[in-house]
Amino acid sequence: MNKEVLSLIFLFQIYGQSFCRNGTRPNIVMVMSDAFDGRLTFDPGSKVVKLPYVNYLRELGTTFLNAYTNSPICCPSRAAMWSGQFVHLTQSWNNYKCLDANATTWMDLLEENGYVTKSMGKLDYTSGSHSVSNRVEAWTRDVQFLLRQEGRPVTQLVGNMSTVRIMRKDWENTDKAAQWIHQRAASSHQPFALYLGLNLPHPYKTESLGPTAGGSTFLTSPYWLKKVSSELITVPKWLPVDAMHPVDFYSTFTKNCSGDFTVEEIKSIRAFYYAMCAEADAMLGQVISALRETGLLNNTVVIFTADHGEMAMEHRQFYKMSMFEGSSHVPLMIMGPGLMSGLQVNQLVSVVDLYPTVLDIAGVAAVGHLSGHSLLPLLSKARVFSKKQHPDWVLSEYHGCNVNASTYMLRSGRWKYIAYADGLTVPPQLFDVTLDKDELHNVVLKFPDVQAHLDKLLRGIVNYPEVSKHVHLYNRKAFGAWRHSVGTNFSQVIANLRSESALKSARDAIKNKEFKEALKHCKAVLKLEKKNYNAWVFIGLAASELDQPDQSQTAYKKAVELEPEQLLAWQGLANLYVKTDQWDFQVELPNVYQKLVELYASSDKNKCYETISKLSDIYQSDKEYAKLAKVKLQLIQVKEEEGVDKKELLQLWQQLTKLLSDCLNGEEQDTEIQQHIITAFEKAMVLMDPVPGEEHKKMSADYVKCLSKLPQEETKMKEACESMLSLYPNQSYPLEVLCSHYLRTGVQDEGAVSCFSRLLDLAPNSGIGHLGLGTKALQEGRFKDAIRDLSQGLKKMSSSTGWCSLAEAQFKMQRYSDSAMSCTQGLTLCVSGDKELRVKLLKLKLEALVRSGGEGAADQALETFSQIPDAEKDPVLVALRGHAYLYKGQVDEALKVSSELVASHPNLTQALVLEDRHIWRRANFSWQRRAS
């Protein structure tokens, strides 16, 4: 173990003694890798490759020895982790169909409960995040022939012994995560939650293998390969092909692993995979090091896990999508203050347990029914009692491609039970994983009682025949919807199993998926006719299927230039940009959608609405609210042209007001957005009926609230308040908004006083009303009345300006100790952006403390002086500091301050210095309270 890791262990043992030290909630950092075999986190698997930071977590945290994915594929597994629910409950069937973008995650709940949250890297849990082709891949399980869907697994060595950063995108995200941790440490003491998603050690896309290539290249450098102990790499045992379970054989074939592999090939694939795990471990280490460097490690819970494992040629397969241990067993390691160190837990757990665990750690109540159970009782040093017992089983299920039947795995005790489809048409499998760690002996016929018991238990958890039926119907519906979306050109369109749905040429080459031949034919056409629109579209399609995105884009753009009002090329560009994870493509995608909206508006209203929805999702995700508003306005315009009724238009305007209202909370406010939201409110209120009425009253209040956030719309805000008061005279809210405005701006004219009085007539206990009258009394020199009204107002509501006014009134009444305490209250509430008020409170507090006298007050005064920006440049503040030194008995320091003031400001400081010396002589070193 290297020196850095040893030092980390030492520091964590010193500082990580208690959970939520000093009553504070811990920070939470989760690093989730992709395709990381959980068996590498404990012996003997941990010996095959050097994983120093995994070992570090094992020594100082808790390692779960039997942690499983709830679905051995990216998106559904992550959907389970983020939602806390099983796959069949969220209907996360494949990499296309997962959670709704608005689903409540544990990160959402942490943010709602005071955590600063940040997610970076691979999230991958919402529907549509993968290629649309995922909607139609699974239909192939029902056809009577096999289709290869993956490239043959290969290895690729790059760089040299100095080449460290291979997966650049992961490293970039890791760097950002480390930087964010440093920024949090420097800027805030508020607890935070950070999620970092890695793509490693997922195999890379194999570009050279053509359009059917998925992630089948295991790629690394000599630097990482050196971390692997080649002599410990085992060659997995395989069953003969004719002895394989039919579902396993189907997966072997579709993953392109049914051919011959040499022992050297297998060992090489496994060695490269382990090296990729070592690179992922280094990224985990960078996050841990950032926590250590910032001093945050002692109050941070670190969680390391993965969405699924990697077969790495076990059972004649690579990749995921299998219930065998290599694919379904994931790492789960948790370290933090108050948690057990060096603990290894045998309890069966799964990633769905992370949702309640994280909430439990943060002290946040879960919302709704969860499939998972908190793991905190299993790893906490303190006695933590769970509300419900963790079951002695885990469930995993799979419904996507490369497997020809919905699959359900139940781990319970020593047994692993795997059921398929309806439980009748495909035979189940049963393994004793204690005796048969390689899972080569299906003993389902040998132990019929065990099979019956586990099947009954499984059906009690999930009615899997019904779920399988539902998945089958979904697949048919998804394929039908895709086919319908292609329209009358379906006969000219193909859907490649590993890439985006795209338009199919009538050419025989494209019908036969001979895309390179198709390119030759199209180029031959262009030699004769350079401006052949269809030829350019077909080139775009073929190049896209061959994973040549730049050539595809060039061809589609050429077609667009030739026929800018034709749909096919624009549709092709949209499909290309959606499926290709390339930054410049994502930037252009909204412009393509915008053009499609224009084209669909006059030809296909449903397609128009669908495209507007996609465009809205992009703008909302990117927080481009001005563009989002324009798109929504386009939708309303199309609806108006279509002649929709008044009720539907009202709903659209209301949705727009709700959508844009949240944008006004940020510090930077876009003028265009402001005008759009004002228009939306005004349009909605015109359409409302009846007036007055409850719905109209609520909309009026929302409009007033919106305008109150726009300082430049003061006139509109006042008009809206008066209009609401005229219709709803007994409503206090518009008066509260007006009074808040007067308090904030310092206006205390007759209109403001009248507003405060009217508010108190309607709501005698209104804090804002009392604060307003108290502020007015302060301005008029009625300090006793000011103290009374301000104190009463502050009992009802917190206000930094209110505390400041109260402190001023108390100071004027020579209640210096009370004034200092009020300043402290105001400083506690003062927001970071209000620097002027903060400085005012600090100066007032300093003078109040000095005037109150006494050594204790003097200590506080000196501390307050140190908090005032540029206090050394203000002679009055410096003089007050000198007085504080006198009260502390630090005569030399006081005389030094006096001498410096006499030298630099003789006229200003003469009286102050003489007064200090007079006090010094009278005190006779017995320091008494100084008279004002």
pLDDT (tens digit per residue) in 422-435:
999 999 999 999 99
pLDDT at 921 (0 to 100): 42
DSSP H helical segments within 333-387, as ranges?
354-362, 376-379
Residue 61, SS3 per DSSP: coil
Residue 116, SS3 per DSSP: strand
Q: Where do the structural domains in the chain lie, given as residue ranges?
A: 3-132+169-237+266-389
pLDDT at 541 (0 to 100): 84
pLDDT level of residue 15 (50, 70, 90 thresholds): very low
Residue 395 pairs with which residues in a beta bridge? 410
Name the least confident of 95-104, 289-298, 549-558, 785-794.
95-104
Whether pLDDT at 152 is above 90: no
pLDDT level of residue 20 (50, 70, 90 thresholds): very low
Query: If one looks up domain 3-132+169-237+266-389 in CATH, what number appears?
Result: 3.40.720.10
Report the alpha-carbon distance of residue 580 to residue 172 in Å, rounded.
19
Tell me how far CA of residue 799 lies from CA of 45, 771, 786, 839, in angstroms. Answer: 59, 9, 15, 16
Whether pLDDT at 544 is above 50: yes
Report the alpha-carbon distance of residue 207 to residue 226 in Å, rounded.
26
Pick the most confident of 82-86, 158-162, 585-589, 646-650. 82-86
Residue 66, SS3 per DSSP: strand
Report the alpha-carbon distance of residue 363 to residue 689 in Å, rounded.
45
Which pair of tokens denotes residue 722?
């008066």
Report the alpha-carbon distance of residue 554 to residue 545 in Å, rounded.
14
pLDDT (tens digit per residue) in 310-320:
999 999 999 99
pLDDT level of residue 511 (50, 70, 90 thresholds): low
Pick the most confident of 170-184, 500-514, 571-585, 750-764. 170-184
Spot the catalytic one: 20, 74, 706, 804: 74
pLDDT at 833 (0 to 100): 63
Name the least confident of 9-13, 162-166, 753-757, 896-900.
9-13
pLDDT at 930 (0 to 100): 39
Whether pLDDT at 537 is above 70: yes
pLDDT at 363 (0 to 100): 94
Residue 359, SS3 per DSSP: helix
Residue with tokens 């040629």: 313
% of the chain at pLDDT higher than 70: 86
pLDDT at 10 (0 to 100): 41
pLDDT at 510 (0 to 100): 56
Whether pLDDT at 824 is above 60: yes
130 close to 136: Cβ distance less than 8 angstroms: no
pLDDT at 669 (0 to 100): 59
Pairing of β 204-205 and β 215-220: antiparallel
Tell me how far CA of residue 878 lies from CA of 691, 865, 873, 900, 914, in angstroms. Answer: 62, 8, 8, 10, 15
Which pair of tokens denotes residue 204?
């890379």
pLDDT at 646 (0 to 100): 83
Whether pLDDT at 599 is above 60: yes
pLDDT level of residue 99 (50, 70, 90 thresholds): confident
pLDDT at 159 (0 to 100): 86
- DSSP 8-state code for residue 392: S
Average pLDDT, the chain: 85
Q: Is residue 823 among the annotated active site residues?
A: no
48 close to 40: Cβ distance less than 8 angstroms: yes
pLDDT at 602 (0 to 100): 67
Q: HEC states along 633-693?
A: HHHHHHHHHHCCCHHHHHHHHHHHHHHHHHHHHCCCCCHHHHHHHHHHHHHHHHHCCCCCC
Pick the most confident of 15-19, 134-138, 555-559. 555-559
Whether pLDDT at 929 is above 50: no
Burial track 339-364 (b if 16+ CB lie within 10 A, e otherwise): bbbeeebebbbbbbbbbbbbbbbbeb
pLDDT (tens digit per residue) in 672-726:
778 888 888 888 888 888 888 999 999 999 999 888 888 888 899 999 999 999 9
pLDDT at 512 (0 to 100): 62
Whether pLDDT at 134 is above 60: no
- 535 or 786: which leads in pLDDT: 786
Tell me how far apart the terminal alpha carbons of the chain are, to the nearest angstrom: 66
Report the alpha-carbon distance of residue 190 to residue 696 in Å, rounded.
39
DSSP H helical segments within 380-463, as ranges?
448-461
Report the alpha-carbon distance of residue 388 to residue 404 in Å, rounded.
36
Name the least confident of 34-38, 599-603, 724-728.
599-603
Whether pLDDT at 127 is above 70: no
Report the alpha-carbon distance of residue 38 to residue 783 in Å, rounded.
70
User: What are the DSSP calls for 313-330, one per residue?
Assistant: TGGG--SS---SHHHHB-
pLDDT at 142 (0 to 100): 65
pLDDT at 771 (0 to 100): 92
User: What are the DSSP calls for 400-412, one per residue?
Assistant: STT-SS-EEEEEE
Strand order in the sheet with 393-398: 393-398, 407-412, 415-420, 429-432
pLDDT at 16 (0 to 100): 35
DSSP H helical segments within 462-532, as ranges?
464-486, 508-511, 515-528
% of the chain at pLDDT higher than 90: 51
pLDDT (tens digit per residue) in 323-346:
999 999 999 999 999 999 999 999
pLDDT at 228 (0 to 100): 97
- What pTM was estimated for this model as a whole? 0.56
Burial track 798-821 (b if 16+ CB lie within 10 A, e otherwise): ebbbbbbbbbbbbbeeebbebbbb
Tell me how far CA of residue 313 lies from CA of 253, 306, 414, in angstroms. Answer: 13, 19, 24
Which pair of tokens denotes residue 689?
């009926």
| Residue 903 CB neighbours (<10 A) | 9
Whether pLDDT at 214 is above 70: no
Residue with tokens 């440049």: 873
pLDDT at 809 (0 to 100): 96
Give the closest residue to 63 by CA, choosing from 349, 283, 386, 312. 349
Name the least confident of 237-241, 273-277, 422-426, 622-626.
622-626
Report the alpha-carbon distance of residue 553 to residue 538 in Å, rounded.
12
Name the least confident of 139-153, 454-468, 823-837.
139-153
Whether pLDDT at 659 is above 50: yes
Report the alpha-carbon distance of residue 291 to residue 195 in Å, rounded.
14
Tell me how far CA of residue 813 lies from CA of 25, 778, 799, 809, 810, in angstroms. Answer: 42, 11, 21, 6, 5
DSSP H helical segments within 151-254, as ranges?
168-187, 222-225, 246-254
Whether pLDDT at 491 is above 50: no
pLDDT level of residue 728 (50, 70, 90 thresholds): very high
Report the alpha-carbon distance of residue 296 to residue 193 in Å, rounded.
12
525 close to 532: Cβ distance less than 8 angstroms: yes
- 158 or 20: which leads in pLDDT: 158
DSSP H helical segments within 813-888, as ranges?
816-829, 835-852, 855-867, 875-888
pLDDT level of residue 628 (50, 70, 90 thresholds): confident
In the predicted model, what is the mean pLDDT of residues 898-904?
84
pLDDT at 21 (0 to 100): 41
